[in-house]
Amino acid sequence: MTSTLIALQIILAVVITALVLMQKSSSIGLGAYSGSNDSLFGAKGPVNFLQKATFVIGLLFVINTLSLVYIYNQQKTESVLDKVQINKNNPIPSAPVK
């Protein structure tokens, strides 16, 4: 389950990056190389479609991130400091005991 969510997280990150780069910015930016998409997306262009798609993919990215945090937090039952032994003669902690 965790590996599936991590793979989905990577895919969502790539898709949201592509969507943001395809949007028209206030300056020319990358839009100068994309050409005209009026015939594909209608008279107003891809502005509304790309904004809605970016919002939906961003929302899925946040939900996936929160679910990964929840799963990792449920799996973690003890701290690393619970495994450290401190010698009374030498107050510097030693390596964790396995």
Residue-wise pLDDT tens digits, 31-87: 555 554 444 555 555 668 888 899 999 999 999 999 999 988 887 777 777 777 776
In whole angstroms, what is the distance from residue 75 CA to residue 68 CA?
11
pLDDT the model gives residue 64: 95
Burial class (CB in 10 A: 0-12, 13-18, 19+), 90: exposed
Alpha helix ranges (H) inside 23-46: 38-41
- Asked if 40 and 46 touch (Cβ cutoff 8 Å), the reply is yes
Provide the whole-model pTM: 0.59
Tokens of 48: 């509304």
Residue at token pair 């780069």: 21
